[in-house]
Amino acid sequence: MHGRPAFFWIGIIGVKRWMWNDLWVAMALMLVLEGIVPFMSPGTLRRMLAAMAQMDDRSLRVAGLISMLAGVGLLYLVH
């Protein structure tokens, strides 16, 4: 195995499995959180989507950037 001990490769495989598991957990939680608004208030979701459809691309990009930065900050604080 390219000159490395077997336990090295087993450790790498274990880390990759752990990372994939965390990614799937994060995706599942994202779907749960994203489903709350349409489940609790479908009318509010329709109004929000109509308002977003009227926004220009720059505003949507800024909102997306703020959301990503908030997520990274929260992840940093939690982890």
Is 30 a member of any domain?
A: yes
21-44 burial, b at 16+ Cβ within 10 Å, e below that, comes to eeeeeeeeeeeeeeeeeeeeeeee
pLDDT at 20: 80
- Angle at CA of residue 57, ends 32 and 46, nearest 5°: 45
Output phi, psi for 24, to 5 deg: -65, -40
Give, for all 79 residues of the chain, the pLDDT tens digit: 456 665 555 565 666 667 788 889 999 999 999 999 999 999 999 999 999 999 999 999 999 999 999 999 998 998 7
Is 79 a member of any domain?
A: no
Domain count, the chain: 1
Is 15 a member of any domain?
A: yes
pLDDT at 79: 79
Is 9 a member of any domain?
A: yes
Is 54 a member of any domain?
A: no
pLDDT at 4: 63
Amino acid of residue 11: G
Is 62 a member of any domain?
A: no
pLDDT at 15: 62
Is 8 a member of any domain?
A: yes
Q: Which domain holds residue 8?
A: 1-40
